[in-house]
A and B are shown apart, each in its own frame.
Chain A
Amino acid sequence: MIKKILGNAMYRITLFIFIMITLVIFPFLPINPYVIHVAIMIFLWAYLAIAWNILGGYTGQISLGHAAFFGLGAYFTYFSLKWFHISPWIGMLIAAGISVLSALVIGYVTFKYGLKGIFFALATIAFSMILQDLFIAFRDITGGSLGVYYPYTGTNLLYYQFESEWPYYFIILAMLICELFIIKKMKNTILYFIAIRENEDVAVSVGINVTKFKLFSLLISSVLVSLGGTFYFQYYRYIDPSTVFGLDTSLEIVIIAIFGGMYNVWGPILGAIILVPISEILRITLGGSYFGVYLIIYGLLLIIVLRFAPKGIYGMIESFMNQRAQKLIIKISNNKGDDKQ
């Protein structure tokens, strides 16, 4: 569809270069640093939503507990840093490893026992809740519900700490772009995922090892989300179990993906571009005790999308474009008919 809108190659390449240049110089423009923070948040949520979408949109397994991997990524980066003084760049990989292991556990239990649809969703919720409760319970190790805080010790590339916004901006932007590349590389595997989503029984009868592919989808999804959790920890340097493992976080990811459009990779980006600024603006204009207002809006938008536009905003734009194209075709063929007379 992007191709249809943008027309020929010349157009697309110039547009692409224009976007790239804008993205690169953006953090250096003389604008309020908060705007850059919003951009970072947009990239982060888009990144997380796309990662979730690999399992949810492509493979059709709606997970409502993805915060589990997010939290594991954040906490284990903290542990590596605090206890072993390992650079977060490496801690990131350790945390991702832990996430993969936990994904294997939950994936095995749910997929092997054939949990689908709402039962799978409930299991994922339970999974993230277990982690949340465990991390609160063992407060000697994890700091409990008060969370953990890592002090800023000066700008240090090796230790993933920066004073200003722009390094974080480029890191998350790079992560997002890499993610897009990974998905592009996985195009063929994604076809298998879609087959599973469309009709699992048929997929099995065609010879697809459904459990293996679902597990694979979950693994990739969890690793990506875990890396996002590391970024979150390094950016805020404070995490606590109810935020990083919380149901709210899982739902935000899901809402952004579904609202934007969960059947392709641009939908979640669109969702993030629209929804994240809403939450940020509400947070600034309304302040402290109105903390949850954006969630009310997110909730309403989710209900509206699920009932009236299941393909999300992207789907709406797509069908709008298709309708216009069809009308154009009809118009042209009518004219042609007149000429023939």
Chain B
Amino acid sequence: MSIVEQALINGILQAGIYAMMAIGLNLIYGVLKIINFAHGEFLMISMYIAYWVITLYSFNIYTSSLIVLPIMMLIGYLLAKFLIEPILKDPEINQLLITLALSIILQNIALLLWTSDFKSLRVEASSYNIFGIILPSHRLISFIEAVVITILTYYMLMKTQIGIKIRAVAQSPEITELLGINSKQIRILVFILGTVLAGFAGIAIIPIYYVYPTVGQNFALIMWVIIVLGGLGSVTGALLASFIIGIIESLVATFYTVELARAVIFTLFIIILAIRPTGLLGEKARV
């Protein structure tokens, strides 16, 4: 039975990482109403930046964030201002295709610059053994990071001025404009927040995952399942769904194979889309 428990714990730890990405993606959807298919690529970019900074300049994982996060903010800003803002009024399918195109472009630029070789960091890994369950140290740290960031984001959205403004713009951009809030600024801010969260996720997983150009795509697709399951626009929903998906994935991967786990998740995705597209905590329960 301890295999099941191990798989469960693995799933929970994994869910922490998913949650960080999912919150960012969900915020972007909630406020900009846009499906950002390139979110996985933000993860990939932050991983590469962290990798190079650590390998070439001997930063460690934590100090690398001093470089990674500002760069992610810049990228987020540029994309938001020059690619995303102009297409906000376009048909939804066009937005989807454009972000998909962006994702392909970013993947292949990474392929061009850094080849498809899998890169990994040599880090000391240890693990804790609690009640017979093994908790690898890096996964545990990532999980704790994820929890902290989630709580911070939640707090920001609920309790701070800026959070209230963000939620207002998510509910109705036009009326918030009337009330004197610059919704364009908020949108750009939210997009940057999303990219930074992806950046955090990248730093968190770099000790655990290989770095290669398409690493983002794997995450991105699972992200979409999580977001739809949780309910588009609902941050709490994204959290809940992260755990559900993380656990399911871990259980199937442990007892069968990783690819089968993904196949199961995508099947679940289609079923959810068909039966309950608003997800668990739907559009009604905003954040």
Footprint of B on A, CB under 8 Å? 62, 64, 106, 109-110, 112-113, 115, 117-119, 121-123, 125-127, 129-130, 133-134, 136-137, 247-248, 251, 254-255, 258, 289-293, 295-296, 298-300, 302-303, 306-307, 310
Distance in Å: Cβ of A328 to nearest Cβ of chain B:
33
Distance in Å: Cβ of A291 to nearest Cβ of chain B:
7
For B108, the chain A residues whose CB sits under 8 A away are 292-293, 295-296, 299
In the assembled complex, the Cα of A127 lies from the Cα of B268 at a distance in Å of 11
User: Can you name 28 A-B residue pairings with CB atoms under 8 Å?
Assistant: A110-B274, A113-B274, A117-B93, A123-B269, A125-B221, A126-B221, A126-B270, A130-B270, A133-B262, A137-B263, A248-B104, A251-B104, A254-B97, A258-B97, A289-B116, A292-B107, A292-B111, A292-B213, A293-B112, A296-B105, A296-B109, A299-B104, A302-B98, A303-B102, A306-B94, A306-B98, A307-B87, A307-B90
For B224, the chain A residues whose CB sits under 8 A away are 122
Task: Taking A118-B93, A130-B267 as given, write out 6 further A-B residue pairs in contact, using a Cβ cutoff of 8 Å, ordered by the A residue number.
Answer: A123-B269, A127-B270, A133-B263, A292-B112, A307-B98, A310-B94
In the assembled complex, the Cα of A134 lies from the Cα of B108 at a distance in Å of 25
In the assembled complex, the Cα of A248 lies from the Cα of B111 at a distance in Å of 14
For B260, the chain A residues whose CB sits under 8 A away are 133-134, 137
Closest CB pairs A-B (n = 3): A292-B108, A113-B274, A137-B259
In the assembled complex, the Cα of A160 lies from the Cα of B213 at a distance in Å of 37
In the assembled complex, the Cα of A110 lies from the Cα of B217 at a distance in Å of 24
For B277, the chain A residues whose CB sits under 8 A away are 115, 119
Q: Is B125 engaged at the interface, CB distance under 8 Å to the other chain?
A: no
- Name the residue on A nearest B108 (C-beta): A292
In the assembled complex, the Cα of A258 lies from the Cα of B97 at a distance in Å of 10
Footprint of A on B, CB under 8 Å? 35, 83, 86-87, 90, 92-94, 96-98, 100-102, 104-105, 107-109, 111-112, 115-116, 213, 217, 221, 224-225, 228, 256-257, 259-260, 262-263, 266-267, 269-270, 273-275, 277
For A307, the chain B residues whose CB sits under 8 A away are 86-87, 90, 94, 98
Distance in Å: Cβ of A271 to nearest Cβ of chain B:
14
Query: How many residue pairs between the two chains, A and B, have CB atoms under 8 Å in the bound complex?
Result: 123
The A interface, classified by DSSP as helix, strand, loop or mixed, is helix
Cβ-defined partner of B112 (8 Å) among A290, A299, A302: A290
Cβ-defined partner of A123 (8 Å) among B83, B97, B115, B273: B273
For B100, the chain A residues whose CB sits under 8 A away are 64, 251
In the assembled complex, the Cα of A109 lies from the Cα of B221 at a distance in Å of 20
For A310, the chain B residues whose CB sits under 8 A away are 94
A115 touching B263, Cβ below 8 Å: no
Most buried by A among B83, B94, B221, B260: B94
A109 touching B270, Cβ below 8 Å: yes
For A296, the chain B residues whose CB sits under 8 A away are 104-105, 108-109, 112
- Name the residue on B nearest A291 (C-beta): B111
Distance in Å: Cβ of A290 to nearest Cβ of chain B:
6
B101 touching A303, Cβ below 8 Å: yes
In the assembled complex, the Cα of A112 lies from the Cα of B275 at a distance in Å of 10
For A302, the chain B residues whose CB sits under 8 A away are 97-98, 101
For B94, the chain A residues whose CB sits under 8 A away are 306-307, 310
- Name the residue on A nearest B269 (C-beta): A126
A129 touching B266, Cβ below 8 Å: yes
Most buried by A among B115, B257, B266: B266
B274 touching A247, Cβ below 8 Å: no
Most buried by A among B92, B111, B257, B270: B270
A130 touching B266, Cβ below 8 Å: yes
In the assembled complex, the Cα of A130 lies from the Cα of B96 at a distance in Å of 20
For A137, the chain B residues whose CB sits under 8 A away are 256-257, 259-260, 263
Distance in Å: Cβ of B40 to nearest Cβ of chain A:
11
Distance in Å: Cβ of B271 to nearest Cβ of chain A:
8
For A117, the chain B residues whose CB sits under 8 A away are 92-93
A130 touching B263, Cβ below 8 Å: yes
For A130, the chain B residues whose CB sits under 8 A away are 263, 266-267, 270
For B217, the chain A residues whose CB sits under 8 A away are 247
In the assembled complex, the Cα of A62 lies from the Cα of B91 at a distance in Å of 12
